[in-house]
Amino acid sequence: MSRLNSATLAALQAFATWSVLSAAIPMTAMAADKTSPTQVAAAAKIATVAVQGTAASANESSLDAVVEAVRQTTVSAQVPGAIVSLLVQAGDRVRAGQALVRIDARAAQQNVAGSAAQVDAAQAVLNVASKELDRQKQLLAKQYISQAALERTQAQWLAAQAQVKALQAQTRVAEAQSGFFVLSAPYDGVVSEVTATVGDMAMPGRPLLVLHDPSALRVVASVPQSMLTGLSDKLKSVRYEIPGLAGQNSPRAPTQTQLLPTIDAASHTAQIRLILPAGNSAETTGLKPGMFARVWLPTTGTAAQTDAERLYLPSTAILRRAEMTGVYVIDAQGQPRLRQVRLGRATGELVEVLSGVSKGEQVAADPKTVNAL
């Protein structure tokens, strides 16, 4: 009897426990599904951003590139001499014909003066020879001298005349060389670098400063030999971007694309040049020669890949906890839900999202604001 009572008592206790739990479960579910007005109001204050889709298709590959000036000149001396004056500094804007460097030209000036004196002396000899020729012609007309004597006088006059022309040419050469002692800007531009100081010895071919034209820039990349097949027919699809520069973070089309016909024997790469559109000069966008860039080249892909889009989110919207990377996605009820994502390469302030979100979904702009709720 005791055993039956014990078994009956245990069954009754189990049934009672199950009844309590079954009654508590719907209440718990209702409490979980029900969102308080305070939570809704707090969630409404969360700033959100939409998952962005770009036109970058999946059948593209990127190459590291660099921004360079279309016109860049290394200014060096043509004659030896000590540098007596540097008229510009790095970063200065210069105009075409503006003096940049002056080299000691005292010896050249003396050469010009000496050549001019020799011309004067030769001109005096020529004047005497001209008068002598006139007298000899008069004497020959009166038959006081022979024809041979006149010819000798005429030869002396021609020699004096040739001497004057030769010395005049030497004077012009000396004057031209004296102009080499003042280095001038070949075009309007900006001084990129100055490698010399006052007192240095300028030698022919030694770089003194570097000048570039900031109004015309291009992006240059080296294309591996394996990617050159069929690229010549797809140059209109080549695009570029300047990561980290405002307004240049997304791929865009250049004004002109040029693929050089030669391949470097050491690296087995060909150079591709992308001329930047008008208005993308260093003066208007902050672009400078030497900045990092990225070139997107079209590759062979299927039609499905061509229509695929890349998804991007601001890097500030990404939440990183230990080994987990996620974002707070706003659900249909307006509540933030943590969702794990897989990231790709970063492009400036944007990060590519490979999986975990869809285009157009709203994501919390700053995960810290969600954690503070």
First to last CA, the chain: 60
Res 108: pLDDT: 80
How far is CA 198 from each of CA 59, 86, 304, rounded to the nearest angstrom? 55, 6, 64
What local confidence, expressed as pLDDT, does residue 333 receive?
86
Cα–Cα nearest to 253, from 220, 289, 277:
277
Report whether pLDDT(202) > 70: yes
Q: Is the dihedral of CA 237, 284, 312, 220 positive or negative?
A: positive
Residues ≥6 apart with Cβ < 8 Å to 220? 65, 66, 67, 68, 271, 272, 273, 274
What's the confidence (pLDDT) of residue 105?
86
What pLDDT does 301 receive? 46
| Tokens encoding 198 | 């006052």
Q: Could you read off the pLDDT of 65-107 as tens digits, one per residue?
A: 999 999 999 999 999 999 999 999 999 999 999 999 999 988 8
Predicted structure pTM score:
0.56
pLDDT in tens, 146-197: 899 889 999 999 999 999 999 999 888 888 888 889 999 999 999 999 999 9
Q: Mean pLDDT throughout 284-298?
A: 86
Options 3.40.50.10890, 3.30.565.10, 2.40.420.20, 3.40.1080.10; CATH for 38-54+309-371 is 2.40.420.20
- CA-CA-CA-CA torsion sign (198, 203, 207, 211): positive
The structure tokens listed for 205 are 């071919």
Topology of the domain covering 105-180: Helix Hairpins (1.10.287)
Fold exhibited by the domain 60-70+213-307: Elongation Factor Tu (Ef-tu); domain 3 (2.40.30)
Domain boundaries, given as residue ranges, for the chain: 38-54+309-371, 60-70+213-307, 74-103+181-212, 105-180
CATH 1.10.238.10 fits domain 74-103+181-212 = no
Residue 206 has pLDDT above 50, yes or no: yes
Identify the residue whose tokens are 């260093």: 282
pLDDT at position 299 over 90? no
Give the chain's largest Cα–Cα span.
Answer: 180
Least confident of 208-212, 220-224, 276-280: 276-280
Q: How far is CA 303 from CA 55, 93, 307, in A?
A: 14, 50, 7
Q: Which residue would you say has higher pLDDT here, 26 or 235?
A: 235
pLDDT at res. 268: 92
